[in-house]
Structure 1
């Protein structure tokens, strides 16, 4: 769990670094989602966001810096409980500021921090642990750890149940259609794509792995072996996905969750081989870490008392674990019910009046990755700008002359996976209101550079292709999603 804590903190830092490159575009009033549009079009009244206090990039930069500082504290295990709480609050706030770029990995990262509030993941390999005696053993069982294990199982079981289209269950063509999506196709996916029968086999393997492998997490016998097998298979599973499909940070977040499931024998094996390197790194950090003040959380005080039974325990310390476990059981039941809501019949589903808690604390989650079926519609975008002398320039490709030919790599046109997700969302008819803000933003950014020729009009064009069975394609066809005129200059 300490290893998972450090991995989660590192991923938060990477996520912040990637998001910071689009600070103005995604989080300010000058970007694609100004605050008044967020509240009008994409806001849930039960949610909160500190990032909505201002539309200025300077305020957003301060919040980003604060989130990074908290993540560093979490990485070091300094005031772990408070660093976890602060990181979770700011992550929820950041995700709520722009839901149009959210993806499944964001849900998992948020839930790892949420359950981390109750996990003893600062008990070892942490600044806080230096003032505590070494644990008698490294196995840990309780409601919090059970909730974490169930959460990981829900990710895979629920996505399998949601994949109820024939492409997954009978035809075995889901991976073929996934690799037909040029917007997410990675180089290794190009190598796999010509092998139709292999993709059919991998489709069935993926479906039944997600559906049945989580059973290993609850085996009462050979628990360590089953747990290690679960971790190793899914490490390979997510590594394969990351090499074939552009999924952003999702595979790294999944790796972090799997680290928390490594059994004690596996950790002992790793520590024996990595111990010298870890000790060398710790020696370099020791002087700086000694400058951090010692601080005890209430949970650590409670743990210290439990480890020293000769010290008299007050009644309220004895009541804390029972109260915490009761709350955790209720939370776990709520999360399980939320996940089953899209699977069970509406009669047993969660009614809207009960969803306020999930929206407020962001325990809401949906694991519909490529579910119920894989998109068949594919294509690429052209930002078709018209100059005063009649030329057509493609802003998506640095202002080169417009070409309607298919690019060699469509995935490479996206700056990062946040922009890819954004472009996926504004393609949907229900989100057509997004397009005008995007169009005007790109037009303004273009004119902010005095070296660029002035434009009179900009069209957001989608070159649509439809994937058909056995490597057949319908299209491409040119679709103008929206257009905007440049203001007089």
Structure 2
């Protein structure tokens, strides 16, 4: 038992400054995500958008989900919730009432994601899990307002920290990459090495960096196999009890380059930033010493320099304090820590069971359906199936054919120019952001056919409101399907009409 404890402490101890660094990064991502989502308040979160509440609850709702954003279909209510989320994300950024800010940020993030799962991607799951585990982590001990207000006797003597939550945080990273590799169980990933070729054949997500390497099949094969082996092997470096700092830096460095490479070649939204943020908490003490000295000198404790001076005259907003005087606490501090650790350990084991059975690991009993409610309630459900088991190959582009009263046919997807079926110079540029790209991807699937009329009606209404001099009487949502073929063959695009609707008078 003693040896196990020694092993756990060697492997799962983290630097509190690294956790604080991750907190700042995560808070910045939340604010960025809110800013991007806020440009589509009506489209994605209101009853006049593409997913009204009655459609959400009928077709895309899990009975164990909770969502404050689903209490109203008004975009104005969504705006208020976005503002509240942004305020608490700023609190998290500066480390003000850090634990409260973490809990509220997680709650509002889950609420927002549950409101429209049709625009979610793998990075959203990871961001949600980082915030969940952070509820139980002291990531406000450094580089924060809370740290500047800490009493001198509470100054930390060591920056090392170990708990069940640090185990959960590190094992979450392990699960992300290991299960991703397990799910990529097709020859195009682990033997043929054609997966990256097919990924870069998708014009919907092809970035300039991807265009540069696309013509080189042997390079793509090497990068494909390297990706798969990296995801399969790199997580185990986190479990090595010797030279721990060295191996952690290997993990951080490799994953940093890995995700920067993804961002340069594929259009994945905030996915790469979230993954980079997730490993920031792994930075070892020597690296944090250098960062602390060279880059964050004004934040250092006990004399927190410029950061402390910024908040020196800042006083907490006026609040009403309710105090209950109890001579003996209801739960002692040691018991509270034990209960917290038991809860965290239980959820972590549950996440392991969920992930490994979902990845098809043999000799592990399948997680029963009647045991999945807890995962959906806490939103610790997760599936790291990016481009797995095979890469999506039904590539193409949308033509939104708007028919006017005078017989013209406009493409609403290209600012109303005359519609044609010629492939655009950049298919990716047709999407406002990655949320719309993901929505358009889900729009193609037959099991999501319920989405189609609402998107069509939304487009007609928005176009006619903004172009009263050139309204459309009918809209046809057309997908020019161009499947990805092997060996750089080019398929002949075929026209598939997914939906049609008319601008009927009220």
Task: Output the TM-score relative to the length of structure 2.
Answer: 0.90
Contact 1:128 1:294 in 2 (8 A): no
- Tell me if 1:286 matches 2:309: yes
Q: 1:8 aligned to 15, 18, 26, which one?
A: 26
Contact 1:127 1:289 in 2 (8 A): no
Please state how far the C-alpha of 1:138 moved relative to its aligned partner: 1.2
Mapping for residues 453-472 of structure 1, pairs under 5 Å: 453-472=470-489
Please state how far the C-alpha of 1:231 moved relative to its aligned partner: 0.2
Contact 2:299 2:308 in 1 (8 A): no
Partner of 2:422: 405
SS at match of 1:463: strand
SS at match of 1:246: coil
Partner of 1:338: 354
1:155, 1:290 → 2: CA distance?
43
Partner of 1:189: 210
Partner of 1:118: 136
- Tell me if 1:221 matches 2:242: yes
Task: Output the TM-score relative to the length of structure 1.
Answer: 0.93
Partner of 2:277: 256
Mapping for residues 316-331 of structure 1, pairs under 5 Å: 316-331=332-347
Please state how far the C-alpha of 1:452 moved relative to its aligned partner: 4.4
Q: 1:388 aligned to 386, 405, 426, which one?
A: 405
SS at match of 1:232: helix
1:7, 1:162 → 2: CA distance?
29
- Tell me if 1:74 matches 2:92: yes
Q: 2:60 aligned to 17, 42, 56, which one?
A: 42
Contact 2:110 2:128 in 1 (8 A): yes
Contact 1:446 1:452 in 2 (8 A): no
CA spacing shift, 1:70–1:199, aligned 2, 3 Å: same
CA spacing shift, 1:51–1:346, aligned 2, 3 Å: farther
CA spacing shift, 1:335–1:396, aligned 2, 3 Å: same
- Tell me if 1:23 matches 2:41: yes
CA spacing shift, 1:438–1:384, aligned 2, 3 Å: same
Deviates more, 1:155-164 or 1:343-352: 343-352
2:350, 2:313 → 1: CA distance?
42
Q: Deviations over 1:13-63 (max 9, x none)?
A: 000000000000000001000011100110100111000111111111000
Aligned residues: 473
The runs of 5 or more residues in structure 2 that have no matched partner are 1-18, 319-327
SS at match of 2:73: coil
Partner of 2:8: none
1:74, 1:87 → 2: CA distance?
8
- Tell me if 1:379 matches 2:401: no
Please state how far the C-alpha of 1:277 moved relative to its aligned partner: 6.4
Partner of 1:299: none
1:313, 1:404 → 2: CA distance?
71
Partner of 2:286: 265
1:286, 1:177 → 2: CA distance?
54
Deviates more, 1:271-280 or 1:224-233: 271-280
Please state how far the C-alpha of 1:315 moved relative to its aligned partner: 7.3
1:228, 1:347 → 2: CA distance?
32
Please state how far the C-alpha of 1:473 moved relative to its aligned partner: 2.0
1:138, 1:452 → 2: CA distance?
65
- Tell me if 1:178 matches 2:199: yes
Please state how far the C-alpha of 1:377 moved relative to its aligned partner: 1.1
Please state how far the C-alpha of 1:450 moved relative to its aligned partner: 3.9
Q: Deviations over 1:118-145 (max 9, x none)?
A: 0110111112222143311111122110
Please state how far the C-alpha of 1:165 moved relative to its aligned partner: 1.0
Q: Please give the root-mean-square deviation of Cα atoms over the aligned residues, in Å.
A: 2.0
2:431, 2:250 → 1: CA distance?
36
Partner of 1:369: 386
Please state how far the C-alpha of 1:293 moved relative to its aligned partner: 2.6
Please state how far the C-alpha of 1:344 moved relative to its aligned partner: 2.4
1:452, 1:145 → 2: CA distance?
60
Partner of 2:440: 423
Partner of 1:353: 370
Partner of 2:324: none
1:185, 1:93 → 2: CA distance?
31
Q: Which runs of 4+ in 1 moved over 4 A?
A: 276-282, 312-315
Deviates more, 1:261-270 or 1:123-132: 123-132
Q: Deviations over 1:220-269 (max 9, x none)?
A: 10000000110000000000000000001011111111111111111111
- Tell me if 1:51 matches 2:74: no
